[in-house]
Structure 1
Amino acid sequence: MFSGLVAGTGEITKIIKQGKTIELMVRPQITNFLADVKYGDSIAVNGTCLTVVSVIDNQFSTKLMPQTFEKTIFRNLETGSLVNLERSLKVGNRLEGHIVTGHVDGVSQVIERKVNENAIELKFSLSQRLVGQIIAQGSIAINGVSLTVMDTSSRWFTVGLIPHTQLITNLDMLTVGDEVNLETDILGKYVVANLSGGRK
């Protein structure tokens, strides 16, 4: 479980594909990020909850199932790509973002980018499957970053990046056509499921 308050970014230093198993090696660009990380810990990488399998020389490795690799933007990443990183929540800490599970719902694409004074406003495509789970002023996780939805329609939604978010995440580098991992608000999922009688 995560909050969407990303600690910073990390660099993918190695991608190893062996049969249907994909192993990633990531070097955090965050001081002491791996100080007490151990085998079996969960880390959100671009909003995807992954399990640490080793920690070596200020890097950690993790293995992805083929489904995770294909369902997320990991299929587009390469050595040198920057990813957002967040450690799992500790009970008793403040929850200043929103509840993020690290289970990506799908991939969305940037369809518009504009700068409004010191903020970057991004418009993303919205699949019909997720309509109803995203509302204006609601929460959404993009590449693991907890953001507030500015506006939405049946085909798109918009968010704004404040300077702090631009500084510590990889979202400021997004341009039109880029893809991101998307996770809608878990509370919204349950509301939609209940109203639809459990139908998807």
Structure 2
Amino acid sequence: MFTGIIESVGSIALAQDAGTNKQFWITSPLSARFKPDQSIAHNGVCLTVEAIRDNSHLVTAVQETLQKTNISEWETGDLINLEQCLTLNSRLDGHIVQGHVDTTAACTAKEALSGSWKCSFRFPEKFAPLIIEKGSVCINGISLTAFDVTRDNFSVAIIPYTFEHTNMRQLKKGDTVNIEFDMVGKYVVRGMELGRA
């Protein structure tokens, strides 16, 4: 379980195929503190640390994860948002994030607004019931607030701190991002669907 508050940004030192999987060595200021078997959110995707080497850690993405996230596009040098899992005595500064990506979305615009940035995204319309105006949404592991919500588009505002301390500074029009919709909303929608059955 995570909060969507990014702790550090890592850099992919090595990306390699491992059968149908992909493996990544990621260098970050946090890597030396990690332990094998620890769950870490990588751009919002919960991955298990397999090994530690100096200031880098190794993770593997299996086929299911590659199909539902943007991990198949990761390359050496890419910046990756990192967050360790929530502890029972932590403040929940963002919102409840599982690290289970629902879909990807395409960046349709990135606009500088003299001190902040507005980023807009297009997502598959089948997920429309899971996002609401001023509701929480997780983008590449970052807890953000959605606005200008339509059936297949929404926007978020990026403050300077978030811009400087996450990989949002590298985002450009056409890029694919990982999206996890609010868990509470998913349970509400599921309950309503079962109620109509």
Q: Give the CA deviation at 1:198.
A: 7.4
Q: Look up the SS of the partner of 1:150 in the other structure.
A: coil
Is the aligned partner of 1:21 residue 2:21?
yes
Q: Look up the SS of the partner of 1:3 in the other structure.
A: coil
Q: Pairwise mapping of residues 77-92 of structure 1 onto structure 2 (< 5 A)?
A: 77-92=74-89
Q: Pairwise mapping of residues 147-162 of structure 1 onto structure 2 (< 5 A)?
A: 147-162=144-159
User: What is aligned with 1:75?
Assistant: 72
Q: Give the CA deviation at 1:172.
A: 2.1
Q: Give the CA deviation at 1:62.
A: 0.9
Q: 2 CA distance for matches of 1:106 and 1:129?
A: 10
User: What is aligned with 2:12?
Assistant: 12
Q: Give the CA deviation at 1:8.
A: 2.1
User: Which of 159, 179, 182 is matched with 2:179 structurally?
Assistant: 182
Provide Cα deviations, 1:17-70, integer angstroms capped at 9, x if missing partner.
Answer: 121232111001x3xx23532110010001000000001111000111112123
When the two structures are aligned, how many residues end up with a matched partner? 196
Letter in structure 1 aligned against 2:54: D
User: What is aligned with 2:112?
Assistant: 115
Q: 1 CA distance for matches of 2:81 and 2:195?
A: 33
Gaps of 5+ in 1: none
Instruction: Confirm or deny: 8 A CA contact 1:125 1:156 kept in the other structure.
Output: yes
Q: 2 CA distance for matches of 1:111 and 1:131?
A: 17
TM-score normalised by L of structure 2: 0.95
Provide Cα deviations, 1:75-102, integer angstroms capped at 9, x if missing partner.
Answer: 1111111110001111111000000000
Instruction: Confirm or deny: 8 A CA contact 1:143 1:181 kept in the other structure.
Output: yes
Instruction: Confirm or deny: 8 A CA contact 2:136 2:143 kept in the other structure.
Output: yes
Aligned-residue CA RMSD (Å): 1.3
Q: Look up the SS of the partner of 1:195 in the other structure.
A: helix
Q: Look up the SS of the partner of 1:90 in the other structure.
A: coil
Gaps of 5+ in 2: none
Determine which structure has the larger helix proportion and give its number: 2
Q: Look up the SS of the partner of 1:152 in the other structure.
A: coil
Instruction: Confirm or deny: 8 A CA contact 1:99 1:185 kept in the other structure.
Output: yes
Letter in structure 2 aligned against 1:100: V
